[in-house]
């Protein structure tokens, strides 16, 4: 969840760091990070729906 907050505008600190290092526009950096944001959302939904994924090791 923390990384999701770090790559979503308007507070996306990691986006601003990447933008300053690459010299690209913030919009381009945000668009490039969007697929990764979707993957993190999917992983969060999977963990909520199937908590056994995260809890199998402790059992």
- pTM equals 0.72
Domain ranges of the chain: 2-55
pLDDT at 10: 66
Is the peptide bond between 10 and the residue preceding it cis, with omega within 30 degrees of 0?
A: yes
pLDDT at 33: 85
Where is pLDDT greater, at 57 or 47?
47
Give the 3-state secondary structure percentages of the chain, helix then strand then coil, rounded to 5: 75, 0, 25
Segment 8-50, tens digit of pLDDT: 766 677 888 888 899 999 889 888 888 988 998 999 999 999 9
The pLDDT of 49-54, averaged and rounded, is 92
Q: Is 22 exposed, middle or buried (0-12, 13-18, 19+ CB in 10 A)?
A: exposed
Which token pair is 34? 């969007």
Helix 26-49 vs helix 13-22: crossing angle, to nearest 10 = 140
């Amino acid at each position: 969840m923390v990384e999701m907050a770090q790559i979503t505008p308007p507070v996306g600190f990691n986006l601003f760091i990447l933008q300053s290092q690459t010299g690209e526009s913030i919009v381009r950096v945000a668009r490039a990070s969007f697929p990764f944001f979707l993957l993190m959302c999917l992983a969060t939904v999977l963990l909520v729906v199937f908590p056994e994924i995260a809890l199998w090791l402790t059992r």
